Amino acid sequence: MAVKIYKLGCVGWMVRIFKKNFGVTLLALPGFLLILLFNYVPLYGLLLPFKNYKYNLGIWNSPWVGLDNFGFLFNGDVLYRVLRNTILYNAVFITLGTFLSIVIALLLFELSRRFVKVYQTILFIPYFISWVVAGFAFRALFDMEHGVINSILVAVGKAPILWYSEPQYWPYILVAAAVWKGLGYGSVIYYAALMGIDAEYYDAAKIDGASKIRQAFSISVPMIKPMIIMLVILQIGSICYSDFGLFYNVTLNSSLIYQTTDVIDTFVYRSLIDIGDIGMASAAGFFQSIVGFCLVLITNFIVRRINPENSLF
């Protein structure tokens, strides 16, 4: 190979490879262009967190401010609140969502194939519902005067609750909403992994008299463990990112419940709308990316030390 490259030259060798694999290259070209356009071209914007961006000057000519944009995030108690909420919510989403998705996938795996598609469709419908639409649905449930839940409370002799003014209820509501929306997607992924398990394992377990629960714990879960670990590692990498639609639309952006519903994304959005500081918003995004990258490396390192076969790299 080295001799061929030397004789043809690097450019000539690349042209020859391109002609040889023209069909496959042409097939991959749209995906390559999308990745280039949306993943690599925007890297130019990494200058913004370190600049005082001026619309009339552009990115290059705007003055450098060093780490001043990050000072806006780290000053005061607001960062602690939004960072705490973001990490705790995502930790619960990952733990509970993964557990329930695996349970649902195991139940679907035991059903007849004729009914699986029906149940999968029912579970998958919430995933395609916009949080804007879901926000109106939750408002119909929790509205003070006409909400379904308050109507039930009044009917049984209880006092109505000011849901959008009481922060203590929202951790449970937001967790339930996130699990409701993402359960179908997660269960389908794990169900597909279960379908790839060789049926001979289950046949041998049946001969040995293993129950369905024993088969699940001894065969199903261990066989899809690499998939579970990979997805959890990727989710941990985005633990500093929040589902903006969930925390903004479902809560109706009520300022009275910011104590338990304000996360990094909603805080940055409000700051950008109120102040109009693009540099500060870019610094927040850069901070989220760096933390997520470090968490992926740390989590993968821990997994590799425990079991190298299950690590991503």
The pLDDT mean for the chain works out to: 85
Examine residue 127 and state whether it is found in any structural domain, yes or no.
yes
Of 39, 52, 38, the residue nearest 275 (C-alpha) = 52
163 and 290 share a domain? yes
Amino acid type, 203:
D
Contact 250, 174 (CB under 8 A): yes
Of 162, 155, 97, the residue nearest 126 (C-alpha) = 97
pLDDT at residue number 99:
94
pLDDT exceeds 60 at position 73: yes
Task: Copy the structure tokens of residue 53.
Answer: 């961006």
Contact 78, 267 (CB under 8 A): yes
126 and 214 share a domain? yes
pLDDT at residue number 10:
64
9 and 149 share a domain? no
Examine residue 42 and state whether it is found in any structural domain, yes or no.
no
Stretch 97-105: mean pLDDT, rounded? 93
Residue 217 DSSP code: I
Residue 302's alpha-carbon distances to 102, 148, 222, 288, in angstroms, are: 23, 47, 19, 21
pLDDT at residue number 15:
76
228: domain range? 68-306
Of 124, 120, 307, 177, the residue nearest 230 (C-alpha) = 307
Examine residue 55 and state whether it is found in any structural domain, yes or no.
no
Examine residue 46 and state whether it is found in any structural domain, yes or no.
no
Greater model confidence, 285 or 244:
244
11 and 155 share a domain? no
Contact 163, 169 (CB under 8 A): yes
25 and 82 share a domain? no
pLDDT in tens, 14-48: 777 777 887 888 888 888 899 999 888 888 888 88
Examine residue 39 and state whether it is found in any structural domain, yes or no.
no
CB half-sphere exposure, 93, CA atoms < 13 A? 27
Domain total in the chain: 2
Spatial distance between the Cα atoms of 303 and 206, rounded to a whole number of angstroms: 32
Examine residue 165 and state whether it is found in any structural domain, yes or no.
yes
Examine residue 292 and state whether it is found in any structural domain, yes or no.
yes
pLDDT at residue number 97:
92
* Dihedral sign, Cα of residue 275, residue 51, residue 37, residue 266: negative
121 and 252 share a domain? yes
177 and 297 share a domain? yes
204 and 83 share a domain? yes
Examine residue 289 and state whether it is found in any structural domain, yes or no.
yes
CATH code for the domain in which residue 128 is found: 1.10.3720.10
pLDDT at residue number 40:
87
29 and 171 share a domain? no
17 and 165 share a domain? no
120 and 234 share a domain? yes
